Structure 1
Amino acid sequence: MKYVDEFRDPEKARKLIDRIHALQDVINASPTEPLQLMEFCGGHTHTIFRYGIEQMLPDWIELVHGPGCPVCVLPMGRVDDCVELAEHPDVIFTTFGDAMRVPGSRKSLLQARADGADIRMVYSPLDALALARKNPDRQVIFFALGFETTMPSTALTVLQAEAEDIKNFSLFCNHITTVPTIKAILDSPDMRIDGFLAPGHVSMVVGEQPFKFVTHNYAKPIVITGFEPLDILQSIWMVLQQLTDRRCVVENQYARIAPPSGNPPGLDAMSKVFELREFFEWRGLGSIDHSGVKMRDAYARFDAERKFALPNIKIADPKSCQCGEVLKGVIRPWECKVFGDACTPETPMGALMVSSEGACAAYYNFGNLLELLAKREQKHQTETAKESAA
């Protein structure tokens, strides 16, 4: 297939759905004990809801939405550090748009801009570097955020800044890595995921090899997945087929974009500029070893954390916000106490409602809000009745 419409073909979707339904007797799953498949990437979550894929699937399959949204897992303390940097009088702070509204403990970047900070939205780190060239008397900081998907462009921008000897450009590095996060989910005591849909764009950079630990160490099937509706459905069928055949391997449904070996020039640039942090704090998941990167000593002059003093304080999310439980797949977004009421895209309490890839935003924008709130109320009444009976 070559054209996007072909990846949204209703007839092909129906055939895949029929194949998925036909596997129930072989897999021996039921609505009371459903098979749980986790799509790691927030882009997958939005495709699932935008095209109603969850409603197409049989009720013996449950999709669990993983933490694959870099904006969503940014802890509140790091947002406060962004605001601290942005409020320096000689700084131009640059960021991708979906990070502007993530709440910190005091304010978001959008609120800081309203208060007078020079915060500008950019589409790539090269835009920030261009600002540094045009404003040699100002310090330009790029908010480097994202999984391995965006790391190569950040690293190549630093190498370009080095080649041009640009002295007023730096990064606030918050890049994070995929594999330690999947491992943390698999090591969770309440984890009962039966298979994974792996992030396609991350795999475009890192290739297939990093995901093999999922099959070798945990005996879980995993399929690298694209972002169109037929990509999702085919990948679900591929995971189910592995379970049916009692196989456990890394398969690549997204081979048209993600080569088995990844992107060697991108990986080379990443390894030159970045090294693993000992640990990194994730919203809702806590501290995960070697799950983030920092700048190597050779590029310290481009590291905003070394050029500026930062509070670097850990701050807990509001108690009423249950982003952590949603990120770990323990609850669905609609089960959160504040979903759709106190927490909406207009008045977000947590990052999952802010980001374009957040699970809460997907449920709010593409789900039936009144039906979801009714389900939450019904669940609450059932739990209350059980507690009273006990």
Structure 2
Amino acid sequence: MKSEIKQILSRYRDPILVKRVVEKIHEAAKHLSKIKIMHVCGTHEWTITHWGIRSLLPENVEVRAGPGCPVCVTPASDIDAAIKLALDGVHVLTYGDMSRAKGSKMMSLEDCRAEGGKIGVVYSFMDAVKIAKSNPNLEYVFLGAGFETTAPLVAYGILKGLPENLKIISSHRYVPPAVGLLAESDDLEIDAFINPGHASTISGMKAYKQYFDRCRKPMVFAGFEPLDVLLAIYAILRQFKERKPRMENEYGRAVTWEGHIKAQENLFRVFDLEEGYWRGVAMIPESAMILKPEFSRIDARNAYGLGQGRGDHFPSEARCAEVIKGIIDPPECPLYMKTCTPATPVGPTMVGVEGTCRIWAQHKVTKNFRCRSGVCPVNS
């Protein structure tokens, strides 16, 4: 079985096929003006950075990283709320990288634990359920961050029934409305999108239809191998040459028009989509997964009088918000690989495993392929 998987994956990393597609990209880019493409998936950024895909592209084709990291866009006030609960004696459970993200007072849950806060790290929501069941006399709150890829498991656990001593802060976000906002932003001037792979297996292509209809910009759904991403870029350029923008699926082995119906049913039985804040981006309508009124008993916001998450509160001099929106690349931030490193992260983009700064840092990228602002502190 492993050899079969390896053989299948090798096709998507075949240097001969990659070279052919790169040649097609260069040919398609001829006579086109500058094309700015944005993806909104941390795994896409990892693929692009790891395989050096930006270095293969023609000068007039640029790929920017958008807000594809759930930890990065979790509001600082949600982190603050979890810290307060932990210091008050409530046991807060969350994912490993989420525990390192700093709130508005530059304290993380990890820092909070060092000061006596009750913090636990789990690999999944079901781990949190098991821990709460094993300790019925303790109060637990799960700080849940993630997109529609991970939220269905939380919904499934809730529908199965939670122990009385477990409540939830839902910081889950729904990606399609964010793509819609980015697509209609005049400030960002994005020409086309590589839409998420994993998240789209849940939502389906149809979730993006209303946003495509409004912006009429190419949207191509892509997988995570080098050839997947290159084919998506080629498909976008082909649309520009034909002057026929459309939604196109280059990840047919996983993404469908309808998406994962059962996961959607579970998701929307538990959560309502309401306006919610994306740290570093904006308030985005119908993008926050808020527990429905019938689940108010397990909603930590109700139980402990917490507000809805909002606020950026980035460290002084940090340019996290601009990185999250793809306005700059990590080396343009004066803190990048100086005071802000994977070992000593300052901003959330260096914390989240899908954060652009962390991905670039892990690959030791210390200069831009094309510095957009003209001044790169790391290079100077």
Which runs of no fewer than 5 residues in structure 2 stay unpaired? none
Alpha-carbon distance change, 295 to 377 in structure 1, aligned in 2, over 3 angstroms: closer
Which residue is equivalent to 1:366?
363
Listed one character per residue, the Cα deviations across residues 202-245 of structure 1 (whole Å, up to 9, x for unaligned) are: 11001011112343211101011111111111111111111122
- The aligned residue for residue 388 of structure 1 is none
The partner residue of 2:267 within 267, 270, 290 is: 270
Aligned to 2:115: 115
Note the C-alpha offset of 1:11. Answer: 1.4
Question: Is the Cα–Cα contact under 8 Å of residues 161 and 169 in structure 1 kept in the other structure?
Answer: no
Corresponding position of 1:94: 93
Structure 1 pair 378–152 and aligned structure 2 pair: CA distance change class (3 A): closer
Superposed CA deviations along residues 313-338 of structure 1, whole A, max 9, x for unmatched, are 74622231111112222222211122
Q: Amino acid of the residue matched to residue 9 of structure 2?
A: V
1:65–1:141 Cα change, 3 Å: same
The alignment covers a number of residue pairs equal to 371
| Contact map agreement 2:32 2:241 (CA 8 A) in 1 | no
For 1:256, the equivalent position in structure 2 comes to 253
Equivalences for 1:158-237 in 2 at 5 Å? 158-161=158-161, 166-237=163-234
* Structure 1 pair 230–376 and aligned structure 2 pair: CA distance change class (3 A): closer
Q: CA deviation at 1:4?
A: 2.3
From the superposition, tell whether residues 219 and 5 of structure 1 become closer, same or farther in structure 2 (CA, over 3 Å).
same
* 1:28 pairs with 2:32: yes
Name the CA distance, whole Å, in 2 between partners of 1:345 and 1:261.
Answer: 38
* 1:253-308 residue CA offsets vs partner (Å, 9 max, x unmatched): 1111122211111111111111122x222211132222212111111111111111
How far apart are residue 86 of structure 1 and its match? 2.3
Q: How does 1:31-180 map to 2 (within 5 A)?
A: 34-89=34-89, 91-104=90-103, 105-161=105-161, 166-180=163-177
- Code of the residue aligned with 1:19 in structure 2: it is K
Query: Which one of the candidate residues 14, 17, 22 is aligned to 2:19?
Result: 14
Work out the CA distance in 2 between the residues paired with 1:376 and 1:262: 36
1:291 is matched with 287
TM-superposed CA distance for 1:154, in Å, is 0.7
Q: Distance in 2 between matches of 1:8 and 1:171?
A: 41
Contact 1:103 1:348 in 2 (8 A): no
2:72 alignment partner, SS class: coil
Q: Say whether the 8 Å CA contact 1:145–1:173 is kept in structure 2.
A: yes
Using a 3 Å threshold, how does the CA distance of structure 1 residues 93 and 252 change in structure 2: closer, same or farther?
same
Amino acid at match of 1:158: I
Question: Sequence identity of aligned pairs in percent?
Answer: 34
CA distance in 2, matches of 1:72, 1:377: 23
In the TM superposition, what is the alpha-carbon distance from 1:375 to its structure 2 partner?
A: 6.6
- Specify the SS of the correspondent of 2:338: coil
CA distance in structure 2 between the partners assigned to 1:373 and 1:9 by the alignment: 24
CA contact (8 A) 1:206 1:267 kept: yes
The CA distance in 1 between the partners of 2:328 and 2:101, in whole Å, is 21
* Aligned counterparts of 1:122 and 1:5: Cα–Cα separation in 2: 33
CA shift in 2, pair 1:252/1:261, >3 Å: same
CA contact (8 A) 1:16 1:234 kept: yes
CA distance in structure 1 between the partners assigned to 2:165 and 2:136 by the alignment? 7
